[in-house]
Amino acid sequence: MTTFAGRKPLAFIFVTRLIDAMGFGIVMPVLPQLLLSMGAPDIAAATRIGGWLLVTYAVLQFFCGPIMGNLSDRFGRRPVILISLFAYGVDYALMGFAPSILWLFVGRAIAGIAGAVYVPANAFVADVTEPAQRAQAFGVVSSAFGLGFILGPGIGGLLGEMGPRAPFFVAGALAGANFLFGWFVLPESLPPERRRAFSWKRANPLGVAALLKHHPVVLVYALAMCAFFLGNNVYPSTWAFFMTARFDWSPGMIGLSLVATGLSMAIVQATLTGRLTQAMGGERAALLGLSIAAASAFAYAFIPSGWMVFVITVLGALQAITYPSLNALMSGQAPADAQGELQGGIASLTSIANVVGPLLMTQTLGYFTSTHAGVHFPGAAFVLAALINGLGASLIFSKMRKGK
């Protein structure tokens, strides 16, 4: 086990995950205005383009995550992490100066590749921590993602008041600063004798999803979780466009609403998840979370006034118990020597949902806000999200009734 004196390496990984999440969230509030300024004819067209941008990012992450992990097994964690961070900085500068929408797609592709840095970053954490402390280290590092998703949209909304390109330059500067930080403080955690040859077979992202078939007991839970991820993609993929089309909100207001959403859910996860799961049981807690997710999405679809967004945000935050409840249920059913295999399958389901979800939600919103739609209904994507989450809830309810 490789160990290092001090906490600088883990602090660097924490900052890396934080900036990874912030970089994604910081551009969300300004994306509608940026696309409109670059030639999108209306908000409906901008929504469709935004969906394809998100799909581009998710597809590249889906394929490049396993590749990044295997490259770090071959060449070490440090070079892969630093190259990814350097690419991140270049990417955001490229998007900030992008002269056309085509260049935004190039930038999102680079961001998808570089954003897979979380894979070697997690491997670094495993390298430098003892097994007894590993769960705690992963928990601390993982919390950076939630914190970044809270800070990113808020900062992006404020910067967006200066212009739709400003957040990209700040995100690029943060990535560049993190690269310099890592250059001086990040050691190599994988010694040469523990490295292995690169294998395309191990780098196949679809192979790990197939592993779930070896655990049929958890299939219902996995499908319910996939429904949750798929339905809740309505928020990162359409929120800024929906609020622009429905209430003509500024980037600042969009960012504030995203901060409120992330903060409310973080509080629920930190204070209520364990208590509710113990009091209700895992299945009932998951059913409650999925039901609230469906009800919240349905409420957003028909909301008459902008101030009500913040009321629904607080009340709907209980949906945050869904993922940890389902994950705990699945972990409890799988044998001890199959936990890693199971988590890999869950990660693949998440990636697939993150590819399909943005495309499904943005194209639905784009159609129902276009001049070609028979009915102008900006809330259509949220109705679809409610139906998908409701399907997940029905799967859990059906399993509870069968008692299996």
| Residue 208 exposed, middle or buried by CB count within 10 Å (0-12, 13-18, 19+) | buried
Neighbours of 203 (CB within 10 A): 18
Q: Are 161 and 253 in contact (CB under 8 A)?
A: no
Nearest to 235 by CA among 198, 260, 205, 204: 260
| Residue 20 clears pLDDT 90, i.e. is over it | no
Q: Are 101 and 39 in contact (CB under 8 A)?
A: yes
The residue-averaged pLDDT of 52-71 equals 79
| CATH superfamily of domain region 204-404 | MFS general substrate transporter like domains (1.20.1250.20)
The residue-averaged pLDDT of 310-330 equals 85
Give the total residue count for the chain: 404
Nearest-angstrom CA–CA distance, 184 and 393: 49
The residue-averaged pLDDT of 272-295 equals 88
Q: Are 343 and 326 in contact (CB under 8 A)?
A: no
The residue-averaged pLDDT of 223-231 equals 91
| Residue 218 clears pLDDT 80, i.e. is over it | no
Query: What are 118-173's pLDDT values in tens digits?
Result: 777 777 777 777 765 654 565 566 567 667 777 777 788 888 878 888 888 888 88
Instruction: Tell me if domain 1-194 and domain 204-404 are identical in fold.
Output: yes
Q: Model-level pTM greater than 0.75?
A: no
Nearest to 382 by CA among 222, 243, 225, 256: 243
The residue-averaged pLDDT of 72-85 equals 85
Per-residue pLDDT band for 392 (boundaries 50, 70, 90) equals very high
**What's residue 311's pLDDT?**
94
**What's residue 25's pLDDT?**
74
| Residue 378 clears pLDDT 70, i.e. is over it | yes
In sequence order, what are the residues at sequence separation of 6 or more whose Cβ sits closer than 8 angstroms to the Cβ of residue 370? 42, 44, 45
Nearest-angstrom CA–CA distance, 280 and 269: 15
Nearest-angstrom CA–CA distance, 189 and 195: 11
Nearest to 347 by CA among 205, 148, 236: 205
* CA separation, residue 131 to residues 125, 126, 209, 320, 396 (Å): 11, 8, 26, 28, 34
Alpha carbon distance, N-terminus to C-terminus of the chain:
42
| Residue 38 clears pLDDT 90, i.e. is over it | no
- What are the domain boundaries of the chain? 1-194, 204-404
Nearest-angstrom CA–CA distance, 240 and 249: 8
DSSP H stretches of helix in 76-130: 77-97, 101-115, 118-128
The residue-averaged pLDDT of 262-285 equals 80
| Residue 53 clears pLDDT 50, i.e. is over it | yes
Q: In this predicted model, which residue has the larger pLDDT, 349 or 210?
A: 349
In sequence order, what are the residues at sequence separation of 6 or more whose Cβ sits closer than 8 angstroms to the Cβ of residue 288? 276, 280, 318, 321
**What's residue 2's pLDDT?**
42
| Location of structure tokens 């006034």 | 305
Taking each helix axis from N to C terminus, what angle separates 131-160 and 118-128, rounded to the nearest 10 degrees?
A: 150
| Residue 104 clears pLDDT 50, i.e. is over it | yes
Q: In this predicted model, which residue has the larger pLDDT, 326 or 119?
A: 326
Nearest-angstrom CA–CA distance, 31 and 50: 7
**What's residue 5's pLDDT?**
40
CATH class of the 1-194 domain in this structure: mainly alpha
Most confident residue range from 55-69, 217-231, 253-267, 305-319: 305-319
The residue-averaged pLDDT of 5-34 equals 74
Taking each helix axis from N to C terminus, what angle separates 118-128 and 8-25, rounded to the nearest 10 degrees?
A: 160
**What's residue 3's pLDDT?**
43
| Residue 1 clears pLDDT 50, i.e. is over it | no
